[in-house]
A = this chain, B = another copy of it.
């Protein structure tokens, strides 16, 4: 089975027109597919209207009990169900799930080491049998960034980590491509120029670009994650803008492809 796993973030979800444009492309995306979404911006805004201010440490949300309730409502309720309704209108048989549903993703509350992140889960296990069962019935799973510990506790979990865990677990038996949509056209040579996309990056090129400080700060964990996914058997990792997703299936330049093999193997 060939499976595409596509992750979108708040920069798409927060803008109804962008989301509609993306979902239109996602509907046409060929083959078995899984959508993973976060929605942090909307959750922060909604929490603020309830008097629950977002508390971030190093770009990561501290999840107390009230914040957990808010992200559960916004991710697994409002965002997930509206995406599903829109996909159904586009004749895509979406099924919205948290990691608790069908025990799809079991995680473990992050241990306190200096910082207490609260109800944040680190992924332990993916139920690939159920995912395969759903895909075989031509369902399209849409996963929100909520998991559980199998002991009754929901846990807030990074959507990039969910997409990666799904991809690497499914890659053991299937050909899996992983697509990270974000707010840039790809990995850029000049971060101020959206046309300076680096079309392909392998480990050698990555090492070089880091040495020259072309790739820094927020891009580093993204690329580290991508290379880790490749090492665990994922076929291809793509990074780019949600609105260019379909171009990527047509072999057109639309983002950055992270390659497993060294350049000299080609």
Asked if A240 lies at the interface with its beta carbon under 8 angstroms from chain B, I say no
Given contacts A74-B73, A153-B85, contact A102 B93 (CB under 8 A): yes
Q: In the bound complex, what is the Cα–Cα distance between A201 and B242 (angstroms)?
A: 59
Point out which of A81, A96, A146 has the most chain B C-beta atoms below 10 A from its C-beta. Answer: A81
Given contacts A76-B77, A82-B154, contact A100 B96 (CB under 8 A): yes
Taking the nearest CB of chain B, how far is it from the CB of A13, in angstroms? Answer: 14
Q: In the bound complex, what is the Cα–Cα distance between A89 and B93 (angstroms)?
A: 29
With beta carbons under 8 angstroms apart, the residue of B86, B89, B101, B130 that contacts A94 is B101
Point out which of A74, A77, A96, A152 has the most chain B C-beta atoms below 10 A from its C-beta. Answer: A77
Encoded as 1 (CB less than 8 Å from any B CB) or 0, chain A from 95 to 122 comes to 1111011110000000000000000000
Inter-chain contact B89/A151, CB cutoff 8 Å: yes
Count residues on chain A whose CB falls below 8 Å from chain B CBs. 39
Contact residues in B for A77 (Cβ distance below 8 Å): 72-78, 80-81
Encoded as 1 (CB less than 8 Å from any B CB) or 0, chain A from 48 to 86 comes to 011000000000000000000100111111101110111
Taking the nearest CB of chain B, how far is it from the CB of A123, in angstroms? Answer: 15
Taking the nearest CB of chain B, how far is it from the CB of A173, in angstroms? Answer: 18
Inter-chain contact B73/A100, CB cutoff 8 Å: no
Pairs across A and B, CB under 8 Å, 9 listed = A76-B81, A81-B100, A81-B146, A82-B154, A84-B148, A85-B153, A86-B152, A88-B100, A95-B97
